[in-house]
């Protein structure tokens, strides 16, 4: 692994103080039940033109200070056993790091976990106590390429909120004339409840998990949609639905190869619920939906997509019927149902998260759009995380499995018919 050298480390504070009326931010039901301790996003950029690394760092630091005035909870501290954030402007950690290898060595590596090199060394964080929810790192490579990575506690925001922050930060760095307008009012929709369950987290040792990134090109996605739509009742499958179905099917194939028998499976997915709640609501604003496959004869792409569509539509109908004033109660019911099912121990559980259409490839600090956006190691096994690819038409997916399962999964012929390992040559 490439050696890293910390050039310097500092604390970046908001450019203007947070009003006393905003100092106390209550966490929400969804904040409390979140398992991942952090969201670690890295954006890689080709060699910036007409801007040296010291200028780049200065631009990032100055604009980060400005954007934190609007995203003030990110510069605060968790207090009272993580039940609220003290928005005390303590600041965020900022690191400037040099990495002794070309950027292509990271982006062309078949193991996505190598991107951990552009994140602070103490990830995953063991605790968010007495530290700010956000850590930022600027990494520059021997070739001149750079990476801007940021780690945000999942206790305070979801992927949608984080992507809004990153794009607002980049706009300020480019001196776009606007003021961000995030609203940290998610607790009004998801108030904290005493009986909220904690979601079980599979195998607890993240070092036993490995991640690979695969790309579904636009042409591969069209072929998958045709496979699903032909001779079935499935209408207008989305790119996420067909890719999810294929990955789920390949995961089941791994399980059957290991045990020799079919085991019922539970597939859960996260739905961003902006709308019905306002788009500028920051925090964790999502609900879960899922599908169960009980028999081996249901292991088909059309069936998986049909079940996903049915579950997604059911959730949409429920949200529409109940209204925003009952979101917390409904979300709690779904969480409890999922936890009860997982506690039975009879299912292989798979989970999916999508960051598609969040604008991660529009994060331009002034030296162009990223050539790759990805995340650090995931602590959850059997997890599929979807991202847009640079073209905007395809999908990149980070697959996280145990090492043993990954050896089988990555050789699946049906997977390789539609997906390819994501590598990219950087000049």
Q: List active site positions.
A: 154, 364
Rounded Cα gap, residues 321 and 408, in angstroms: 44
Contacts of 206 (CB under 8 A, 6+ apart): 124, 377, 378, 379
- Longest Cα–Cα distance in the chain: 62
Contacts of 56 (CB under 8 A, 6+ apart): 48, 138, 140, 146, 365, 367
Rounded Cα gap, residues 308 and 166, in angstroms: 30
97, HSE (Cβ side, Cα atoms, 13 Å): 23
CA neighbor of 96 nearest in space, from 43, 147, 169: 147
CB 302 within 8 A of CB 241: no
DSSP state of 21: G
Q: Containing H/E element for 4? A: strand 4-12
Give just the sign of the alpha carbon dihedral 45, 48, 52, 54: negative
CB 406 within 8 A of CB 377: no
Instruction: Compute the 3-state secondary structure of the chain and give helix, strand, coil in percent, each to the nearest 5.
Output: 35, 25, 40
């Amino acid at each position: 692994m490439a050696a890293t050298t910390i050039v310097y480390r500092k604390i970046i504070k908001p450019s203007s103080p947070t009003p006393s009326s905003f100092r106390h931010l209550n966490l929400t039901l969804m904040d409390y039940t979140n398992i991942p301790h952090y969201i670690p996003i890295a954006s890689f950029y080709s060699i910036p033109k007409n801007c040296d690394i010291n200028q780049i760092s200065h631009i990032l630091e100055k604009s980060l200070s400005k954007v934190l005035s609007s995203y003030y909870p990110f510069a605060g501290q968790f207090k009272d056993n993580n039940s609220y954030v003290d928005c005390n402007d303590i600041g965020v950690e900022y690191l400037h790091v040099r990495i002794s290898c070309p950027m292509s060595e990271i982006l062309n590596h078949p193991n996505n976990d190598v991107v951990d090199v552009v994140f602070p060394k103490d990830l995953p964080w063991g605790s968010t106590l007495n530290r700010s929810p956000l850590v930022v790192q600027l990494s520059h490579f021997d070739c001149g390429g750079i990476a801007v990575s940021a780690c945000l506690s999942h206790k305070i925001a979801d992927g949608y909120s984080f992507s809004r922050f990153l794009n607002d930060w980049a706009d300020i760095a480019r001196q776009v004339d606007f003021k961000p307008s995030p609203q940290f009012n998610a607790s009004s929709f998801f108030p904290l409840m005493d009986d909220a369950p904690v979601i079980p987290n599979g195998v607890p040792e993240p070092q036993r998990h490995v991640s690979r990134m695969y790309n579904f090109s636009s042409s591969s996605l069209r072929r998958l949609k045709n496979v699903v739509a032909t001779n079935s009742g499935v209408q207008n499958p989305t790119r996420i639905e067909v890719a999810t179905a294929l990955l789920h099917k390949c995961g089941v194939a791994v399980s059957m190869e290991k045990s020799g028998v079919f085991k019922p499976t539970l597939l859960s997915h996260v739905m961003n619920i902006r709308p019905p709640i306002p788009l500028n609501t920051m925090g964790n604003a999502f609900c879960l939906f899922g599908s169960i496959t009980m028999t081996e004869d249901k292991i088909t792409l059309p069936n998986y997509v049909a079940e996903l569509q049915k579950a997604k539509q059911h959730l949409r109908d429920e949200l529409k019927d109940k209204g925003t004033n009952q979101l917390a109660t409904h979300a709690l019911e779904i969480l409890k149902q999922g936890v009860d099912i997982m506690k039975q121990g009879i299912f292989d559980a798979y989970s999916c998260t999508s960051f598609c259409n969040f604008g991660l490839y529009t994060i331009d600090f002034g030296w162009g759009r990223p050539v790759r956006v990805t995340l650090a190691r995931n602590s959850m096994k059997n997890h599929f995380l979807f991202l847009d690819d640079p073209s905007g038409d395809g999908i990149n997916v980070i697959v996280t499995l145990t090492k043993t399962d990954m050896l089988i999964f990555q050789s699946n012929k049906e997977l390789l018919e539609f997906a390819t390992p994501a590598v990219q040559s950087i000049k």
